[in-house]
Structures are given as structure tokens and as C-alpha cells.
Chain A
């Protein structure tokens, strides 16, 4: 029996599973990170200095510590506590929090980008505080930061490769296994790079389309 076997069509399903897992965990992290980031960004924009220092400190830790270290520490810590988590769940939690930390800052600047005078104009029409948030600050502020949001989302797709270190069978880990079996790293890594491009590029195109539509 050969120790190494070349890449074959039989590997297609294995590779596709890796692609789908990358897409899946990226979508979860972007969605959860966006929702949590909106809440965090709003609290940051509206809160007192003391709340901001506390929350800002927490977000700074999430943004400053490399994702790979957060993934390993969290996974190990949870396991040591006697609650081992499935790699997808552990990876989703950390990747979502990591995304939230970046999205939170993006959305904070979005909320703050709506001038106070415009908020007062909305209130002077009889709108309540929350109506002003819902109908003025969110749509105007979020348009202003859409390109930054897109940048974070595209990074998350690429950062999702790091979840492989805790055993999640995403695209890069799939590739690693194929490389160790086939000893064809160059071809496989080029292929993986192409897959990442094919996942990211439609989002990038969609972003440009949305930006064009929002150009007023």
C-alpha cells in the first residue's frame, strides 16, 4: 500500500465539505458579530465615559490578542473546566466575539457620524429617541460605515482559517490533510487560495453594488 496517494476526483466531496464549513462558520461569525457589534457600537456611542472605558478595555483585549491565541486558550480552558465544546461551537463563539470587537468600533463611528443637529431636527418633528435611532441614526450612520463593515466581513472569511487550530474541518484544515496525504502542497494551496477568493469576491462585488446603490 502506498504511503502517499495523489489528488483524485474522489477528494472533491472532502474539499467541498471544507469549503462549506468555511462559508458556514464565516456567515455565523459575520451575522452574530454584526448584531452584537451593532449593540456594542450603540452602547459605546451613547454611554458615559466610565462605561466606555470598561467596554473599550474588553474590546481592546479582543482586538489586540491574536485570534489564534484566543481560540486555543478558550478551547483549552472550556475543556479543562469539564465542558469540552465541539470545534464548530467553540470556533463560532470566539470568531463571533472577535468580529463583534471590530464591528463594534465600526458601528460606533457610524452612530457618531450622524450630526447632533440632525438628531435634534428629527426630535423636533416629534420623533421619540428610539424612532430617531431606528429611522435616522441607523440608516444614515450605517451607510457611512458600510465600506468598513465590508472590510471586516472579508477579513473574517480569511481569519476563519485559524479555527483549524482547534480541529474544525474548514478549508485550510482540509487542505492540510490533503497535503500530508498527497505531498502536493503547491497545487493544493493554490487551489485553496482560489476557493477563498471565490468565497470572498462575490461579497466584495455585492458590496460594490450596494455602495453604488447608496451613492446619492
Chain B
């Protein structure tokens, strides 16, 4: 379970998160929507300890993420993250990309790491690209590689930061299909997304962020079909 309690985060004078409270239970899919600059991505970075927080607490399976004594590298093994840009390692093949972290971080042998990587790559539909270099693949394929690379660490949680927003429209579908696949596998996911219809389809909970606060949170039906807050209504009227 991920517990986020009154989290504040500032960049200089700019307070990006102004007191976020959110619980994500195991097996749950939570989508975070909101305008650019509302703090959605920053929250994911804080959950993964890529960014420090100013106050509050983030607890993952009982571990206080921002405690100085917490081993951040170990913690991140449980929190797979996929970014807007796929960030494939261009010097490695698809298989090597996905096998690198299991090998050097988890200490698997090369053969073991490649076996895990192969399984995840086949799972996301890249079984025929194992020996290809990522720069020769489309954005959608590279994003699926990024997902498989994160999954190869076998994390119980996955964080997705606008994973389709850098893709050409015709490539969005294949990445969303991969996320649906993970939802069907029972993966716990937090998805920052602009794909409202996708959020409606896959989420157990949808949170609407506005200026560093959760303006409205609830089931997709509550937040997306019958929003109670004026700002949610305004946002949805612009994006739908």
C-alpha cells in the first residue's frame, strides 16, 4: 500500500504540492488528471524519491520513503516508473535494456536476467525485437520497452507519468493496450494521464489535481461523469 500524507513540495518559492493526501491499495489503479503544472508528475517523482519533499510523509509498504535511513535504491526496486520520454539506453539491444537492472541491481546472472527480461518483453509484445536496437524502433515500441524494463525488476507498484503524451496519435493505442494488460494482471498502478477515456476505463479511483491540491477524488463515474467541483467541470469541459 502507498500512503501519501499531507505532502508539501516546493521548487524555490514555488509551492507545487500544497498538502496531498492519497492512499493507493494493492491491486488498485489510480489515475491522476489535471492541467499542466498542477503537480501531478511531481507527486510521482516524490513517491519514487527522485524528488525530495518539504514536509509530510510518503509510506510504501510501511517504509517511510523520505526517511534519511531509507535505502532509496532498494525502495525504487519496488516502484517501477515509466516516464513521458522512454529513455531507452541506445547502446544496448532491447533485451539488454530490460536485463541490465535485474543483473546489476538485483544481482541475477546474465542468463537469469535475460530470461526475466525476455518474459516481460514478450508480455508487452516485443518478443520479435529482442536483438534490435531501440533507436530503430517507433516511439510506441520504445515506450513498451520502457514498461518491460521497469517490469523486469518485478516491482509490486508501477508509476506512469504521462506515458503517451510524447507519442504520435497512432502509437498511443499500443501503449494503452499494454497498460490494460497490466491492469488485468492485477498490478497496482498510479497513472498520471491526459487520456480521460482511458482513465475512465481502467481506474478504480480518479484524482483531479488543481494547483498542487487534490480538488476532487472518487470513482471514475463520480469524478469524470458527475464532477461536483466547478474546477473539475471546467477542466473536463476543455479536454473532453
B33 to chain A, nearest CB (A): 22
Q: How many A-B residue pairs have CB under 8 A?
A: 63
Give the interface size bracket for B toward A. Answer: 20 to 34
Check A208 for interface membership: any CB of B closer than 8 A: no
Interface string of A100-122 (1 = CB under 8 A from B): 00000000000000010110111
Partner of B146, one of A121, A127, A136: A121
Any B CB within 8 A of the CB of A143: yes
Which residues of B have CB within 8 Å of A128? 73
CA distance A209 to B85 in the complex (A): 31
Q: What is the total number of residues of chain A having a CB less than 8 Å from a CB of chain B?
A: 20
B188 interface residue (CB < 8 Å to A): no
- Measured CB to CB, the closest approach of chain B to A140, in angstroms, equals 6
| Chain B residues in 8 Å Cβ range of A214 | 91
B85 touches A125 (CB 8 A): no
Task: Tell whether, in the assembled complex, residue A121 and residue B83 are in contact, meaning their CB atoms are under 8 Å apart.
Answer: yes
Which among A115, A120, A123, A135 is the interface contact of B100 at CB below 8 angstroms? A135
Binary CB contact string for chain A from 126 to 167 against chain B (1 if under 8 A, 0 otherwise) = 111001000110011001000000000000000000000000
Give the nearest-CB partner of B51 in chain A.
A120
B127 within 8 Å of A (CB atoms): no
Q: Tell me whether B141 is interfacial, beta carbon within 8 Å.
A: no
Q: A3 at interface (Cβ–Cβ under 8 A)?
A: no
User: B82-123 CB contact bits vs A (8 Å, 1 = yes)?
Assistant: 010101011100000000110011100000000000000000
Binding site for A on B (CB under 8 A): 48, 50, 73-74, 76-77, 79-81, 83, 85, 87, 89-91, 100-101, 104-106, 133, 135-136, 146, 149-150, 153
